[in-house]
Amino acid sequence: MTTVMNRPVNPEVEAIRHHYEVSNAFYRLLLGPAMMYSGGYWEDGEDLRAAHETAQERKLDTFVELAGAAGAARVLDIGSGWGTMLDRLTTVHGVDRAVGVTLSRTQKEFVDGLGNPKIDVRVESWEDHRAEEPYDAAFCVNALEHFVLSSLTPRERVARFREFFTQCHRLIKPGGRLVMHVMTVENPPLTRQIIDDLKFLQREEFPGCYIPHLHHLTATCEGLFEVTEIRNERESFSRACRAWLENLAERRAEAVELENEEVVARFERYLDIFAYTLEDGIFNNFRMVLTRREGETR
Ligand SMILES: C[S@@+](CC[C@H](N)C(=O)[O-])C[C@H]1O[C@@H](n2cnc3c(N)ncnc32)[C@H](O)[C@@H]1O
């Protein structure tokens, strides 16, 4: 069980907190006012930093439209970060109740601090979430990458992806949509640098994190969701990484004071790895729109 607030927790939860419970002040410096930790939609010619907030809002609004979530009664955000999607759903798109799940207690503190009575954020894992009634729509924006451990066998990983889509099927109304951004990996060229960098990501920054292949996702949602759209938007994420690196470079001394040299250096290295692997097509960032099929969840 991973429903947790202050109790001792399992290594999977600790791994997430290692990354996501760096202070909110540090994340504010890194992510800027948008407080989105995922790709954005820049238009050609726009400046990475000047247009960062606009690019993130564009992404959110596009996702809301694709999910048909405007004016909905209840919407779920799985891996809800600092609550920017939840806030926009309720303040701009007329959603009545926006529920988020995250494993990070500092993220929950941040979202609670927004004082938005239409938002409910819970510190619990996606598989533990229960709803009194199904949601009209759901989002999972660059969070699924954390949900399946690399230490599992290939067969167990497939079963875990299936569990994720089964849980989403249970939580969303028939005909409702799940809109995701999710990174996938291609078979990378096995150069020394790539091997070292991928090892660093997996051992030091995101312990146990498993980046799937696209076919894992399409195969394991079969029968539960109709795949309505798949688009590779890897530049949306590489640009965001470059914008965050520029934020960090400009205020590096402050960042070190908020955390320490080791944390800042770790972030610089991992963001640079993400940026170049996305630019080189080693990682992808797929936007997937899935429509929940009729029928009971078994
Ligand atoms: C890269 S952040 C993305 C946050 C947000 N969706 C955004 O776009 O800004 C990944 C999020 O997934 C959450 N997360 C990781 N593992 C989780 C789990 N097992 N259950 C629920 N949330 C989880 C993290 O706490 C974090 O909020």
Domain segments of the chain as ranges: 11-32+47-292
Query: Longest C-alpha distance within the chain, in Å?
Result: 55
Tell me the C-alpha distance between 247 and 266, whole Å. Answer: 15
Task: Pick the atom of ligand 1 nearest to 125's CA.
Answer: 20
Structure tokens at 87: 């806030």
Gap from CA of 192 to ligand 1 centroid (Å) = 30
Gap from CA of 36 to ligand 1 centroid (Å) = 11
Query: Hey, how many other C-beta atoms are within 10 angstroms of the C-beta on 155?
Result: 8
C-alpha to C-alpha distances, 122 to 118, 125, 286, 292, nearest whole angstrom = 13, 9, 26, 24
Amino acid occupying residue 114 = L
- Outline where the chain has alpha helix (H): 11-20, 24-31, 52-67, 84-91, 105-112, 154-171, 192-200, 214-220, 234-250, 252-258, 261-279
Gap from CA of 141 to ligand 1 centroid (Å) = 8
- Write the residue with the smallest CA distance to atom 14 of ligand 1: 79
Residue 3 has pLDDT above 60, yes or no: no
Gap from CA of 143 to ligand 1 centroid (Å) = 5
Task: Pick the atom of ligand 1 nearest to 126's CA.
Answer: 20
Mean pLDDT of 104-130: 96
The residues lining ligand 1, judged by C-beta closer than 6 Å to any ligand atom, are: 16, 20, 36-38, 79-81, 101-104, 107, 125-126, 141-143, 146-147
Backbone φ/ψ region at 94: left (φ over 0), alpha (ψ -120 to 50), beta: left
Query: Hey, how many other C-beta atoms are within 10 angstroms of the C-beta on 78?
Result: 24
Gap from CA of 102 to ligand 1 centroid (Å) = 5
Q: Given pLDDT bands bounded at 50, 70 and 90, which one contains residue 18?
A: low
Closest CA to 238 of 187, 179, 284, 195: 284
- Write the residue with the smallest CA distance to atom 13 of ligand 1: 79
Query: Hey, how many other C-beta atoms are within 10 angstroms of the C-beta on 162?
Result: 17
Residue 7 has pLDDT above 50, yes or no: no
Q: Given pLDDT bands bounded at 50, 70 and 90, which one contains residue 298?
A: low
Gap from CA of 137 to ligand 1 centroid (Å) = 17
pTM reported for the whole predicted model: 0.94
pLDDT in tens, 221-261: 999 999 999 999 999 999 999 999 999 999 999 999 999 99
Task: Pick the atom of ligand 1 nearest to 2's CA.
Answer: 19
Average pLDDT taken over every residue of the chain: 92
Tell me the C-alpha distance between 83 and 114, whole Å. Answer: 9
Tell me the C-alpha distance between 43 and 45, whole Å. Answer: 6
pLDDT of res. 203: 81
Residue 101 has phi, psi (to 5 degrees) of -125, 140
CATH 3.40.50.150 fits 11-32+47-292, yes or no: yes
pLDDT of res. 2: 40
pLDDT in tens, 19-63: 777 899 999 999 999 999 999 999 999 999 999 999 999 999 999
pLDDT of res. 13: 74
- Write the residue with the smallest CA distance to atom 12 of ligand 1: 79
Tell me the C-alpha distance between 238 and 243, whole Å. Answer: 9
Structure tokens at 98: 């926006």
pLDDT in tens, 143-195: 999 999 888 999 999 999 999 999 999 999 999 999 999 999 998 778 899 88
